[in-house]
Amino acid sequence: MAELSLTGGRNGHRTGISPWAVVAIVTAALALVPIGAIGMVALADTGNLWGHIVQHVLPQATWNTLVLLAGAGLIATMVGTGAAWLVSAYDFRGRGFLEWALLLPLAVPTYIMAYAYLDILNPLGPVQGVLRWVLGYSSPREFRLPDIRAMWGAILVFGFVLYPYVYLTARAMFLTQAANVAEVARTLGVPRSGVFWRVALPLARPAIAVGVSLALMEVLNDVGASQFLGVRTLTATVYTTWIVRTDLAGAAQIAIGMLAIVLAVLMLERWARRKQRFASTAQNARQMQRQPLAGPVAVFAFGLGIAPILIGFAGPALYLIVAAVRRFEFAGLSASLLRATLNTVSMSALATLVILAVGFAVAYAARLHTAKWSAAAMRIASLGYAVPGTVLAIGILVPVAALDRTVGNLWHSWTGGTAGLLLLGSGAALIYAYAARFLAISAGGIDAGLSRIPPAYDHAARTLGQTATGTLVRVHLPLSRSAVIAAGLLVFVDCMKELPATLLLRPLNFESLATLLYGEAARGTYEDAALAALIIVAIGILPVILLARTSRGIR
């Protein structure tokens, strides 16, 4: 009875509806608004244009998207899983460096990777120039490599940028597998080389499936890299149908097809984990011992590990540094770059504060209330992370524009003046898009931090006379501070790198670093975009450092 009187419910959880629950429910409702708006817009009549899209545009775009997903997913799976096993099962000189450096491609957005390799591998670029000099050719007419602006180029770019998603999840699983499992397999006659295929890989399949699904979501979200590389995906088709053909209803109908693909990817990930229920019953289980390598074998192993780092990070980063230095020496920092940097930092910081506050409310409501609705509200609020930014932008534009018109009409009827686009023009719609897209990172990270605080701490604080607010301020916030900071850092960098939603919902005359880079690359003025790309990559390294420190704690 004392516990009930202190907490308002059994097991330390509230039975009534708290203000946190109201925020969680409202957040879940707002997360559903874009999806509902897309469905409503898709019902509109598009005239003869939709027939043209269905016959001439959609089949090729769908095929390109599926091929790109399959190819990029295959490369990400092979490279990520192989790299995770290499640093988990073997010990050689340089392994410690590879362990964290394999995460570096996460700092390079796919559109920057495509932008960099377009310039590096063009017929007049450094790579082909060196090859012609070595082979004795003097002109691109005599020798040139295949054009990277093709499906194979897009597959390689996406695969080598997104493999860290698979690497992270697979490595975490490999490191937590007990040594006794591998030892039993060896006792039963499985050779050391067969432990990976017959024991470690089957046990890691659920984790690998999660990593691959995350990588495929990023492929679906991309609009810049696929356009730079000349691959017309569904995302690019949504963008051109909306912006170029000014057909919002047609873009919404294509977006519905993309949501179907997203749902298929999620169902595939769940299917891959069906009947996968593994548990270790060993007490004080030892981790798998790494096999020491020496000599040429160790050099070969290090070469295998460094290759994806060179392709997915070092090559593009070195190019950006050289190009940025040349551009800076020639023209210095342009006013447009400084404005774009200020816009990016200020908008991303404001969005991060909003997302952290809302994410904390959603996670705290889930902690206070054990009812099914609280968990459902958190899952619904996190739906936006699985929705591509282009699709999300369409779903947000419609209700926000309608609200802007309503407010404008009311203001005109009251004052006779014009209110303008209050939400679209102020950037509020863009912050809404960031919040819907990245709330899952905030709420999930904070929920993980709160889950490590025992309920007994709540009981003790309330016994000592603390109110619910006092318990939050004096117990929960200090103990979950590291989780909040980590979530905020990840959200800030993701907001800064987000291209599709920013491109479509930014206010007039607003340029971020991502949209500035996109515009310069689309015009072919790669030198002007190098500084913007370098700034994005430099800031993008911050969460990679955080992930590296976190993963080093998994031993």
55-278+285-330+524-555 placed in CATH 1.10.645.10: no
pLDDT tens column, 171-191? 888 877 655 566 666 666 666
Q: What are phi and psi of 291, to 5 degrees?
A: -85, 120
pLDDT tens column, 30-47? 888 888 888 887 777 666
Distance (Å, rounded) from C-alpha 536 to C-alpha 538? 6
Does the pLDDT at position 14 exceed 50? no
Determine the 3-state secondary structure of 512 from DSSP: coil
pLDDT tens column, 222-233? 888 888 888 888
Contact 484, 443 (CB under 8 A): no
Between 531 and 77, where is the model more confident? 77
- HEC readout, 80-121: HHHHHHHHHHEECCCHHHHHHHCCHHHHCCHHHHHHHHHHHC
Does the pLDDT at position 130 exceed 60? yes
Segments making up each domain of the chain, as ranges: 1-43+333-499, 55-278+285-330+524-555
Mean pLDDT of 276-303: 71
Closest CA to 420 of 433, 431, 405: 405
Contact 110, 116 (CB under 8 A): no
Distance (Å, rounded) from C-alpha 38 to C-alpha 249? 9
Q: Tell me the torsion sign for CA atoms 493, 314, 214, 543.
A: negative
Q: What are phi and psi of 326, to 5 degrees?
A: -60, -45
**All residues at 6 or more sequence positions from 385 whose CB lies less than 8 Å from its CB, including other chains:** 217, 437, 438, 439, 440, 441
Domains 1-43+333-499 and 55-278+285-330+524-555 share a fold: yes
Contact 223, 235 (CB under 8 A): yes
Closest CA to 451 of 358, 363, 355: 363
Q: What is the CATH number of domain 1-43+333-499?
A: 1.10.3720
Q: Tell me the torsion sign for CA atoms 90, 93, 99, 105.
A: negative
Q: Tell me the torsion sign for CA atoms 122, 124, 126, 132.
A: positive
- Lowest-confidence range among 46-60, 231-245, 304-318, 533-547? 46-60
Between 470 and 106, where is the model more confident? 106
